[in-house]
Amino acid sequence: MDKHERYMQRCLDLAVLGIGTVAPNPMVGAVIVYDDTIIGEGYTSPYGGPHAEVNAVQSAITTYGIEKARRLLTNSTIYVSLEPCAHFGKTPPCADMLIAYGFPKVVIGCLDPFSKVNGLGVEKLESAGITVVKGILEKECQFINRRFFTQINNNRPYVVLKWAETEDGYFAPADTAQRWITNAASKQLVHKWRSEEDAILVGRNTALIDNPSLTNRYWKGKSPKRILLDRDLDVPSDYHLLDQSTETIVFNTIKSEWNLNLKYIEIENFDLYLPQSVLYQLYLMDVQSILIEGGAKTLQMFINAGLWDEARIFVSEETWGAGLVSPKIDGILDGKLNVSNDQLLIYHPIL
């Protein structure tokens, strides 16, 4: 790994510290290097706050004082995992700030696909006489922002499928009884995942059988928006999903209504292209990613529509011999991980 890659990897390590807090913005890390020494670094603040470049400059100022920091910055290189923004949004353009501080060189991991930025940040920097190096660990930089890139390029949220199955391939008991498949460590990991995504979705049957809360009470951070597919509004009002504790969106065929944290969205052709309709509505609501937890019919519906980006499947050591068969997925096995005595399988679609 050469010098540029080493510092860009540090940017990536910083960027992921913003997971679950920066959306719909991308996760970005920035590192300022003077004479082969890091003098400032930062990552994007929670949505609405300063971007990575601003935080990196501020860390240099905090360490060295404003006057010395300004002198150092005019002889420093700043590494940024994503192209600096060139437009006014919640904050001023980062490209303008880098120009104002007199950075002679900017090294970028990948370009920003957002139309108000794409290439324009680089253009601003180069027009100001700044040397710009692009494409350092480009694939890695794109991968950490796969949620952001999917939202921008595909006009839908990034879709993560998650389920647990027994060693012999069963998803749930044949009757409506509740029966836990995985261990406590896997359960805690799922709650961590919930804190990292914008939304979590289940269907009517799962809501009625399990009465889930769909919060991440076993992990720190915010709980995701809860999404319920309930065609005829069969889920009783006293169930956890409708308790107003977290923003909840109910897709149905009966009504469109907004009551505090509870939003009902009517879909006329509920049984026709439902995954596409739901994802597009969520895209319009700035939902960048969604974790789909079930049930089997709901998961299979998204699989059959080809609307998924990642599948996380827990396989336990239990064997049942009978029950509801797990969803079937045709994808590329990208990784295996032991979570105590469960095995976690990670799949991505075949492109």
Instruction: State which of 134, 150, 166 marks the end of a domain.
Output: 150
Helix (H) or strand (E) holding 205: helix 204-210
Tokens at residue 326, please? 């797990």
The CATH number of the domain where 284 resides is what? Answer: 3.40.430.10
Cβ–Cβ under 8 Å, residues 25 and 117 = no
* 108 and 222 belong to one structural domain: no
Cβ–Cβ under 8 Å, residues 315 and 165 = yes
| Confidence (pTM) | 0.93
CA atoms within 13 Å, Cβ hemisphere of 197: 27
* 134 and 42 belong to one structural domain: yes
pLDDT given for residue 90 in this prediction? 67
State how far the Cα of 320 lies from the Cα of 47, in Å rounded to an integer. Answer: 45
Please give the residue range of the domain that contains residue 138. 3-150
Please report where in the chains the tokens 């150092």 appear, as a residue: 72
pLDDT given for residue 297 in this prediction? 94
* 190 and 293 belong to one structural domain: yes
Instruction: State which of 116, 150, 184 marks the end of a domain.
Output: 150
State how far the Cα of 163 lies from the Cα of 182, in Å rounded to an integer. Answer: 10
Binding site for NADP(+), by residue number, is 164, 180, 210
Residues of the chain short of pLDDT 50, as ranges, are none
Q: Nearest to residue 239, comparing CAs of 215, 210, 281, 267? A: 210
* 37 and 145 belong to one structural domain: yes
Instruction: State which of 132, 150, 168 marks the end of a domain.
Output: 150
Cβ–Cβ under 8 Å, residues 56 and 42 = yes
pLDDT given for residue 92 in this prediction? 82
Q: What does DSSP say about strands 262-266 and 257-259: parallel, antiparallel, or unpaired?
A: antiparallel
Q: Where are the alpha helices (DSSP H) in 26-86?
A: 52-64, 66-73
Binding site for substrate, by residue number, is 194, 206, 214, 217, 293
Amino acid code (one letter) for 258: W
Q: Nearest to residue 284, comparing CAs of 269, 263, 313? A: 263
* 69 and 18 belong to one structural domain: yes
Question: Which residues are 292's β-sheet partners?
Answer: 161, 201
Cis peptide before 48 (omega within 30 of 0): no
* 146 and 278 belong to one structural domain: no
Q: What does DSSP say about strands 324-325 and 170-172: parallel, antiparallel, or unpaired?
A: antiparallel
Would you call 53 a catalytic residue per the annotation? yes
* 145 and 12 belong to one structural domain: yes
Cβ–Cβ under 8 Å, residues 145 and 42 = no
Binding site, by residue number, is 51, 85, 94, 164, 180, 194, 206, 210, 214, 217, 293
Binding site for Zn(2+), by residue number, is 51, 85, 94
* 189 and 321 belong to one structural domain: yes
Q: For residue range 22-58, what is the model confidence (pLDDT) as tens digits?
A: 999 999 999 999 999 999 999 999 988 999 999 999 9
Q: What does DSSP say about strands 248-252 and 262-266: parallel, antiparallel, or unpaired?
A: parallel
Largest CA distance in the chain: 72
* 160 and 213 belong to one structural domain: yes
Catalytic residue among 5, 41, 53, 67: 53
* 58 and 137 belong to one structural domain: yes
State how far the Cα of 162 lies from the Cα of 170, in Å rounded to an integer. Answer: 14
The CATH number of the domain where 43 resides is what? Answer: 3.40.140.10
* 231 and 101 belong to one structural domain: no
Say how many domains are in the chain: 2
* 33 and 111 belong to one structural domain: yes
pLDDT given for residue 69 in this prediction? 97
pLDDT given for residue 89 in this prediction? 66
Cβ–Cβ under 8 Å, residues 111 and 142 = no
Q: For residue range 214-225, what is the model confidence (pLDDT) as tens digits?
A: 999 889 888 999
